[in-house]
Amino acid sequence: MNHFHYKDDDLYCEDVPLARIAEEVGTPAYVYSHATLSRHLRVFQDALAGLDALVCFSVKASSNLALLRLLFSGGAGADIVSGGELHRVLAAGCDPQKIVFSGVGKTAPEMRRALEAGILAFNVESEGELDLLSRVARELGRRAPTSIRVNPDVDPETHPYIATGLRESKFGIPASEARALYQKAAALPGIDVVGLDCHIGSQLTNTAPFRDAIEKLVTLVRDLERDGIELEHLDIGGGLGIPYGRDEEAPPPTPGEYGEAIKRALGPLASKRIICEPGRVIAGNAGVLLSTVLYRKRAQSKEFVVVDAAMNDLLRPALYEAFHPVWPLRRRGGERIRADVVGPVCETGDFLAREREISPLETGDRMAVGAAGAYGFSMASNYNSRPKPAEILVKGPRYAVVRHRESLADLTRGEAIPDFLGDAD
């Protein structure tokens, strides 16, 4: 459930008409619903009731400080993958003891900063990383709380770019090698073994792969116990899918169904501390991207709606051929059209919707691309020297700009023309 809905013929976010925001802040702009974000977090937390669970929001999904603050105030921790995300979550007030640090390419300075902050756990993805982490921790006179990310080799049945738990993916340690690496970790002077981690992919629409992965982890935890290694927690990653509004799509499991499946698969390990790293299911349907129609254009038999948002603002359709719903901010009658909704970027792949049946949109009309709250702004770029859009948070009848639209000066900040290039003329 989310808080974007039509009142009469106008699309609202909570109690604010989106056309008003488009008018006052301009487009393109991301708009997030406070009520939806807090509800999604609460529903997810409730789904894990009965477990000693910590929900660490996967910051890569949506990393605006205001959104993070809202989620941390609701009790969430953070799953981070870079020093930049560490900076963000600390700035947003996250309790360091609720931060887990994932990712295959952590650098020594990133490890140092995370150790100094006192995070809950590093999710280590290779032997080389384990060695470096031990060394960095010793240099600081500390021990690094460590989980090893295990690749359980299950097929998450999702888009190949976002499947991570298959044998051939770059993520984690093969389950067959994990025991040996745990032995090594337990003996390293800078390492405290605290947990086991796993993340198999994103936008999963079925509980079976989660169950299969957890069952493999349970076996491994048992083996480790036999080896004398006791773990404090099990991190089962993120990955629960969301509905994107496509007619033919099978609905993904609800958080409640996911929670039940997890609890069943954990069996006797359900008494351990469980960490989850959801991203999309919390933020995805809590945000939309607003844009304005620039032109209607016809080429041969094809109809195009050219809008002022593009692949640099929302990359998912171009990168994964992802489906996002398109909603006019003001519904009006008239015959529906079948069109590609495209942006101004110079790439044929620059589309937000393809061959989509939509209500008629004319120059100057506003529209929203739905389900854009996760991996929307966080994957935005300045390609084609387009300033990144504004971000807005709505709460009831109020809204606030939580990130200003980038200016032209922002685009060239940090660039320099060296003396040896001389004057332009």
Closest to ligand LLP by CB, 140 vs 162, is 162
CA-closest candidate to residue 340, choices 304, 383, 310, 314: 304
| The binder of ligand LLP chosen from 102, 146, 147, 151 (CB under 6 A) | 102
Q: Is 235 in the site for ligand LLP (CB under 6 A)?
A: no
Sequence-distant (≥ 6) Cβ neighbours of residue 365 within 8 angstroms: 292, 293, 328, 329, 330
CB of 155 to ligand LLP, least distance (A): 16
The one segment of 3-11, 136-144, 172-180, 231-239 that binds ligand LLP by CB under 6 A: 231-239
Ranges of beta strands (E only) in 267-413 are: 273-276, 287-299, 302-307, 326-328, 337-342, 351-358, 366-369, 390-395, 398-403
CB of 331 to ligand LLP, least distance (A): 28
- Backbone dihedral angles phi then psi of residue 335, each to the nearest 5 degrees: -70, 135
Is 229 exposed, middle or buried, given 0-12, 13-18 or 19+ CB atoms closer than 10 A?
Answer: middle
Q: Is 238 in the site for ligand LLP (CB under 6 A)?
A: yes
346: annotated active-site residue:
yes
The one segment of 18-26, 174-182, 232-240, 266-274 that binds ligand LLP by CB under 6 A: 232-240
Closest to ligand LLP by CB, 149 vs 395, is 149
| The binder of ligand LLP chosen from 28, 253, 279, 373 (CB under 6 A) | 279
Q: Which tokens is 71 given?
A: 């989620």
Q: Is 77 in the site for ligand LLP (CB under 6 A)?
A: no
Closest to ligand LLP by CB, 316 vs 395, is 316
CB of 379 to ligand LLP, least distance (A): 6
Closest to ligand LLP by CB, 41 vs 374, is 374
Q: Which tokens is 272 given?
A: 């351990």
DSSP per residue, 93-147 = T--GGGEEE--TT--HHHHHHHHHHT-SEEEE-SHHHHHHHHHHHHHTT--EEEE
At 111, the amino acid letter reads M
Q: Which tokens is 13 given?
A: 């976010």
Catalytic amino acids? 346
Contact residues for ligand LLP (CB under 6 A)?
A: 58, 61, 79, 102, 162, 199, 202-203, 237-240, 277-281, 316, 320, 374-375, 379
